[in-house]
Each structure stands twice: as C-alpha cells, then as structure tokens.
Amino acid sequence: MAVTIKDVAKLANVAPSTVSRVIADSPRISEATKRKVNEAMGKLGYHPNLNARSLASQSTQTIGLVMPSSGDVVFQNPFFPTVLQGISEGAHEKKYALHMTTGKSEKETLEAVVDMVQGKRVDGMILLKSM
C-alpha cells in the first residue's frame, strides 16, 4: 500500500496541509517543521505524486524540447550535445524535466508539439529546429 501525505502528517504530528507546504518548499513553514516532515517522509519512504502536484499547481515542471528530424544532423553537429547538456543542467537546477520530441516529417513533428501543448504536458517549449 502506498504511503500518503496523511501517513507522513501523522508520523510528523502535523496537518496534511503542512506536509503539502513542506513539499512545495513554502516559506511559511519553519525550518524545524520542514526537518521533522522530511524525516518522516524518509522513514516512510514517501515520494510525492507528481501527477497530483501538477493538477494542484497547474504546472507540469516539464519543458518540451523539439529536435530536428534527422538523427545524423543531431549526432554530427557538436552544437546539439553542447546545447542539450546546458538545457539539461538548467532544467535540473530548477527541478524541471525534459520531454523531447521529433518526427519523420514536419507534419509529424508539428502534431507532437500540438499534442504536448494542448494536452498541457509541458509548461513551455524549446525549439532546436525551425518549423
């Protein structure tokens, strides 16, 4: 059975809303309370449900990345590995994930981008390809 926020709150002797605020790193919560809640999460092996957090915060913490269609272009050009490393490091610092897409044709790539944006799978897009 999965550990819930209520289980963490009970062990830490705080309200479930306090656990939620600790997860969101709210400045309204004292460092002592954050420590207590984080210790409880560690003991219970609790990991926040990112899908639920996305619904509540209206943010996916994900950036869409559109790559060129041809794998040869990506792997032969030193621009792409350098840029990908920088994007990855920046995203990691801000606790964002990357969702990469490409396609065999312009139409396929465009459909993938539209699906990501309209499906609210990403908070923003980085285009490493012209469309």
List the CATH number of the domain containing 43: 1.10.260.40
CA distance 8 to 130: 47
Asked whether residue 38 falls in the same domain as residue 95, the answer is no
DSSP label at residue 67:
P
Give tens-digit pLDDT for 14-57: 999 999 899 888 899 999 999 999 999 999 999 887 777 777 67
pLDDT at 113 over 60: yes
- Domain range spanning residue 118? 62-127
Give this prediction's pTM.
0.66
Query: pLDDT category, 1, cuts 50, 70, 90?
Result: confident
Give tens-digit pLDDT for 84-98: 999 999 999 998 999
The count of domains in the chain is: 2
Asked whether residue 85 falls in the same domain as residue 36, the answer is no
Asked whether residue 38 falls in the same domain as residue 79, the answer is no
Give tens-digit pLDDT for 52-104: 777 767 788 899 999 887 666 667 888 888 899 999 999 999 989 999 988 88
List the CATH number of the domain containing 105: 3.40.50.2300
Q: Residue 54: inside a domain, yes or no?
A: no
Asked whether residue 34 falls in the same domain as residue 66, the answer is no
Asked whether residue 39 falls in the same domain as residue 67, the answer is no
Angle between helices 31-44 and 16-23 (to 10 degrees): 100
Q: Residue 55: inside a domain, yes or no?
A: no
